[in-house]
Structure 1
Amino acid sequence: MQIGEVAARTELSLRTIRHYEETGLVIPSARSQGGFRLYTETDVARLMVIRRMKPLGFTLDQMRDLLDATDRLDADDVSAGDREELLERVRGFEEVAQQRVADLRTQLARAEEFANTLRERLTKATAPANTP
């Protein structure tokens, strides 16, 4: 598929996809005769991993490290020792992701409390005064 379809499916901008290509996070699987980037389902899945890591604050290097580990795990020729080391790296990312999700939930709860406080204040300030 071409980059426009990939952008629509991943909800990433063309510019962002090109940036990830420039940084080596995703490489189009092929080019058309006209020179257009062509992507596969695997490329889309890679971009989705990147898209999910971004709001959790992972750096491009961390994204690259995780993608390298998962690529190597998917390879048929990985040794048992390498496989365990790769799994441990992925487990480390999973633990960090879980902690960051928990932190975001805490931030969201505080933000909701603040928004509710403001709403209550506005409701109270705009309510007709009680007259005896």
Structure 2
Amino acid sequence: MNGKHMQIGEVAARTELSLRTIRHYEDTGLVVPSARSQGGFRLYTEVDVARLMVIRRMKPLGFSLDEMRALLAATDRLDSGADLPPEEHAELLERVRGFEAAAQQRVADLRVQLTRAEEFASHLHARLC
């Protein structure tokens, strides 16, 4: 990481999230800007952008804000560089595995929904031909 700070507009463009959404995630405590400019502007780093991308990927899978917060807390702790007790490390990994399994299931469910939607669209198209 180069330590470069970005203003919220650049972060919004990079993450394809609206300014309002990023501010909402800040209000809910999911993402906190790494710094503020002298003028009070939010300043973000690559780590903040990566965090927002995790949230952006969880959202369409229907994860709640609390679930997002729980996953981020687990990955933050794992990535902290702290010398974790083996039991805590194992528990955190298990928590992340649970989210991975839930994400895989939700992706499978969405594939079924997409297949049904495509079948419906094809059915309508066939009726018009």
Match of 1:50 in 2: 55
CA distance in structure 2 between the partners assigned to 1:58 and 1:91 by the alignment: 15
Cα offset for 1:81?
Answer: 1.4
CA distance in structure 2 between the partners assigned to 1:33 and 1:48 by the alignment: 27
TM-score, with length taken from structure 2:
0.94
SS of alignment partner, residue 38 of structure 1: strand
Choose 1 or 2 for highest CA Rg. 1
CA distance in structure 2 between the partners assigned to 1:55 and 1:19 by the alignment: 16
Q: Counterparts of 1:71-110 in structure 2 under 5 Å?
A: 71-77=76-82, 78-110=84-116
CA distance in structure 1 between the partners assigned to 2:59 and 2:98 by the alignment: 17
**Number of residue equivalences:** 123
Aligned partner of 1:55: which letter? P
**Structure 2 residues without counterparts, runs of 5 or longer:** 1-5
Percent identity, aligned pairs only, is 79
Moved over 6 A (4+): none
CA distance in structure 2 between the partners assigned to 1:60 and 1:84 by the alignment: 24
Question: Could you say what the CA RMSD is over the residues aligned between the two structures, in angstroms?
Answer: 0.5
Kindly provide the CA deviation profile for residues 43-94 of structure 1, in whole angstroms up to 9, marking residues without a partner as x: 0000000000000000000000000000000112222211100000000000
Higher RCO (CA-CA < 8 Å; seq separation 6+): 2
